[in-house]
Amino acid sequence: MDFKGLLIFKTVYDVKSLNKAAKILGYSQSNLTSHLKKMEHELRATLFIRSFDGMKPTAQGHQFYAFSNSTLEKFAQIKLSFKSVKPLLLISELLFQFIVIEKTEYQIESTDIVIKKTCEIENEINQHNYDKVITFKEFKHKDYDLTETGYLPVAFLKSSKVTTHLHLPVLINNDADCPLRAKTLAIYPQLTNIITIDSLSQLLNLVEKGQAIALLPVFFAQDKLTPLDTLQYQIDYFCYQHQSV
């Protein structure tokens, strides 16, 4: 078992899909399956139940997730304490999927990437130095210069299996600084059936199952998800560079 295996397990756990995890990590599905089987053999435990609906963690899988999260976080911290020869990028979770995975503006092989929630970005730059920071939340810091702005296209999405969404609740992320959360609350200020979800992966899972709708990046509208209508919104993001670069 190694850090690569832990990262593969964590990613599969987060997105509940081998296909999505393979796309995020840049590995083949067979590579991911091989690593998961190896870990399950070493642990003598079943970590996931494979089904047509995705990868469902077992009770042992939930327990191992806590260990993996803690271990990878400590590994990331020790890496930050060492001087890196690669550029170091700090980025919000959704922006990682949009800029790194969808737009391929950064290569995982040549860039050290740290992913944090929007609400964690400011604290992170006060503790560590990054070459570049990409975040939804504009900030002022003596060591960083704003170099570029962009926008993330978003829309309200539902499961492709759902014919009518009028009875469905609306989901928002529990990240207080998440702009999609703020935009949703601004669009539906009087709505009572809004539910807060702990993580993006859980939110996506519920929408894909047809149990709710949510404001999400347009690039998620593929086989399992479809827009409610033709309305789209733009969420601004900000790119900063450290003055030492």
Q: What is the 3-state secondary structure (H, E, C) of 111-175?
A: CEEEEECHHHHHHHHHHCCCCEEEECCCCCCCCEEEEEEEEEEEEEEEECCCCCCCCCCEEEECC
Residue with tokens 């939110």: 203
| Contact by Cβ (8 Å): 130, 242 | yes
3-state DSSP assignment of residue 34: helix
Average pLDDT over residues 33-45: 91
* CA 208 remoteness from chain centre: 16
Average pLDDT over residues 162-181: 88
pLDDT in tens, 133-156: 999 999 989 889 999 999 999 999
* CA 212 remoteness from chain centre: 19
Torsion of CA 10, 184, 164, 230, to 10 degrees: -100
Structure confidence at residue 166 (pLDDT) = 81
- Put simply, whether the predicted model's pTM sits higher than 0.75 gets the answer no
pLDDT in tens, 177-187: 889 999 999 99
Higher pLDDT, 116 or 244: 116
Long-range residue pairs from 190-197, CB within 8 A, at least 24 positions apart, any chain:
193/169, 194/169, 194/170, 195/169, 195/170, 195/171, 196/171, 196/172, 197/171, 197/172, 197/173
pLDDT beyond 70 at 83: no
Question: CA-CA distance, 170 to 156, in Å (whole number)?
Answer: 9
Supply 103's token pair.
């737009």
| Contact by Cβ (8 Å): 207, 171 | yes
Structure confidence at residue 190 (pLDDT) = 82
